[in-house]
Amino acid sequence: MTLFRDALRALRLTAALWLITVVLYTLPLLGIGQGLFPAQANGSLLRVDGRVVGSALIGQPFATARYFLSRPSAVDYSTGKQPSSAPSNLGPTNPDLVKRITAASKVLQGAGLKDPSPDLLYGSGSGLDPHISPLAAEQQIERISAQRQLTPQQLRQMVRRHTEGRTLGILGEARVNVLELNLELDRRSP
């Protein structure tokens, strides 16, 4: 009978722990998140005319000369499948990585970027980073100015508006959110 009693006790303990961890812990956190940080809790979605166009937290590819280019990604956004949030895992001496970077460098040089910033050539650790450095944005201003009929000074002001400083003033580097910047480009010069 002790085996049955021990099994019953284990089931009650499992149910109690499930109730604590799944319900009593999660629901208050969900409520706090939705109450204090609703945009972040729902994925930091960006909308244009009520339609979701992306997230401020996930990079997107921009292939036309009318937009600021983002970092390359290991994710193939064109497949329609759920993107994985993983880097390519190719080491610095891997021939496939060297080929990809060489091809990207040629494309960027064809777009007028003679010495492209490293973040336009290399993906981020997650493969989904939505940011580029202010230097990478600055390198693209002349090309976009010619495409959008905006002055370089107007574009520099836009870049400054979308430049985020270090997190907590000490972590990371200054960065520009490419999706937010390109959405402002479309608003200012459709």
Sequence-separated (6 or more) residues with CB below 8 Å from residue 87 = 74, 123, 124, 125, 126, 127
For residues 53-80, give the mean pLDDT. Answer: 77
| 36 and 50 housed in the same domain | no
User: Each residue of 128-137: pLDDT tens digit?
Assistant: 788 999 999 9
| 182 and 110 housed in the same domain | yes
pLDDT score of 161: 95
Q: Comparing 45 with 152, which gets the higher pLDDT?
A: 152
Residue 67 has pLDDT above 80, yes or no: yes
| 38 and 49 housed in the same domain | no
Domains of the chain: total:
2
Sequence-separated (6 or more) residues with CB below 8 Å from residue 120 = 69, 71, 72, 104, 108, 113, 132, 136, 139
